Amino acid sequence: MFRGKADMRLLAGTAHPQLAKDIAEYIGVPLGDATVSSFPDGETFVKINENVRGRDVFIIQPTCPPTNQNLMELLILVDAARRASAARITAVIPFFGYARQDRKDQPRVPITAKLVANLLVAAGVNRLLTMDLHAQQLQGFFDIPVDHLYALPILIKHLQEKKIPDLVVVSPDVGGVKMASAYAQVLGAGLAIVVKRRISATETEAQHVIGEVEGKNVLLVDDLTETAGTLVGAARILRSAGAKDIYAMVSHAVLVDVAAERLRESDIKELVATDSVPVPKFEGCPLTICSVASLLGEGIKRIHEDESVTSLFEINGQTV
């Protein structure tokens, strides 16, 4: 049983220092003093510069690009805390890298998401706090408690402030229907799906829309975008189907340079994402970032105080 902020220690790697500072500010606990640097040969060096013996330690580190470096930093921070006799170590991973490699979809390929789960537990992680995993069943890869938060309450708040009429929520592919359905339910909006027809093993063509979008404002929702290709392609077919204003929402904007050009030239009026990873400032892009520091901070507080995190999933009395 952990009580009082004095028993809590927040540490962070170099993946997303601003988010770590914002979380610490929300909780009202200073960010712990830890040195994280690299030797000339690229090896990571970590030293925790304060006492964590018997403390409830939370290590904040999204495993976003450079994924391998950030993952290794996290593992070494965990090992350092374990060897310093921390009472409990919770890995706070707002964005869980390698989540898409969650099954054997080809011969002789690894299940890397499970490997990463094994590495975290072997390093000494006692609990995981994460947000919007690419597939919820990844929680089953861990033999430790996993608290899985959703960005939906944060993103929905931004959308509700815009008061968009005649809204239809759209999944850009069949795999995202469950997430789109959750948004539609909370917003009281209709639901549609963009479908790609596969014409060969390597080509897709003839996209079409299942659902009514003509004359409607639409909201595309997805868990992750990197190149924005799926979102931009879906927006194009929605426009041709008669949609009016097109908005997009993603939990994790792991954007690369090609995404900027695509978004500038796309039919998407606004892309709304969270700061689960550092988001580049692309000139002229219709990009809005919502902070999840309060969501993650509240999750950390409740884990520390051994309270339920279920109420964090509620919006307007509904559980998402």
Catalogue the active-site residues.
196
Q: Which amino acid is at 119?
A: L
The count of residues in the chain is 320
Whole-angstrom distance, CA of residue 6 vs CA of residue 81: 17
For residue 44, CA distances in Å to 33, 71, 81, 223 come to 17, 11, 15, 30
- Within 86-203, strands assigned E span 88-93, 127-131, 146-149, 167-171, 190-198
> Are residues 299 and 131 in contact, defined by beta-carbon separation less than 8 angstroms?
no
Tokens of 226: 């990197």
Specify the DSSP element, H or E, that contains 155: helix 152-162
- Buried b vs exposed e over 92-128: b needs ≥16 C-beta within 10 Å? bbbbbbbbebbeeeeeeeeeebbebbeebbebbbbbb
Strand-pair category, 88-93 with 56-60 = parallel
Nearest by Cα to 280 from 260, 262, 264: 260
